[in-house]
Amino acid sequence: MSTDRQWKVAGWMVLALALAWAIPAAAQERGADRSGKWADLERGASFVSRGKTYILLPGVRASATAPGSEAAAGSRALAIPAAEILETKGAFVIHKALPVASSRATFSRAGETVTYPVALNPRTGQLCVLSGSLVAKLRDIADSAAVAATHGVQELQVFPRLGYASFQVAPGQDLVEALAALSSDARVESAYLDIVEHIKQPK
């Protein structure tokens, strides 16, 4: 290989390494900037799901019309004051909760409205909705119903070929505590919370 070509190859390698460092750094900086947008929100306990760390926001909730409800969706239908709305994420309206809700990660239903806990992903700066369900990889999928009964959750779906099952917690049941209990169950290989962080917008 000629000296000129060696220098070109070396140059491309340096550029590739620079980009490899710059892109994650830029993404982290953007996340930090966005996280700063929520700096005035009260922070609660942190938890880990699927290797990602989240921070509960006791003073924030996400409201949506109940699944299967014939009621209209949106902030007007939910009667949420515009000044309290932080953002919308699909069918969820994320808003400040006054008075500040419980620090526990629970969801509740009142009439046609379901209110969910919200957490912050400090890496991305995204507000995330805890949907009320969990997914577990079971060592033996036949144990799904027994696992649900043990932890007081409802079995939603079972995927025998994949070995996964999804569960719904009851209103008032702490999601983070349910995740910890499932994860420590010897019949469960792994478990994670169903967290809504990104909503794909139609093109």
3-state secondary structure the chain: CCHHHHHHHHHHHHHHHHHHHHHHHHHHHHHHHHHHCCCCCCCCCEEEECCEEEEEEEEEEEEEECCCCCCCCCCCCCCCCHHHEEEEECCEEEEECCCCCCCCCCCEEECCEEEEEEEEECCCCEEEEEEEEEEEEECCHHHHHHHHHHHCCEEEEEECCCCEEEEECCCCCCHHHHHHHHHCCCCEEEEEEEEECCCCCCC
Is residue 36 predicted with pLDDT exceeding 80? no
**Residues 115, 144 within the same domain:** no
41, part of any domain: no
Is residue 163 predicted with pLDDT exceeding 60? yes
Which pLDDT belongs to residue 22?
45
Provide the number of structural domains found in the chain.
3
Is residue 27 predicted with pLDDT exceeding 50? no
Give per-residue pLDDT as tens, 105-137.
998 888 888 999 999 999 999 999 999 999 999
81 is in which domain, residue-wise? 46-125
201, part of any domain: no
**Residues 139, 162 within the same domain:** yes
**Residues 120, 137 within the same domain:** no
**Residues 112, 173 within the same domain:** no
pTM (2 d.p.): 0.76
**Residues 55, 28 within the same domain:** no
CA distance 136 to 129: 19
User: Which is more confident, 79 or 44?
Assistant: 44
Which pLDDT belongs to residue 29?
47
**Residues 16, 77 within the same domain:** no
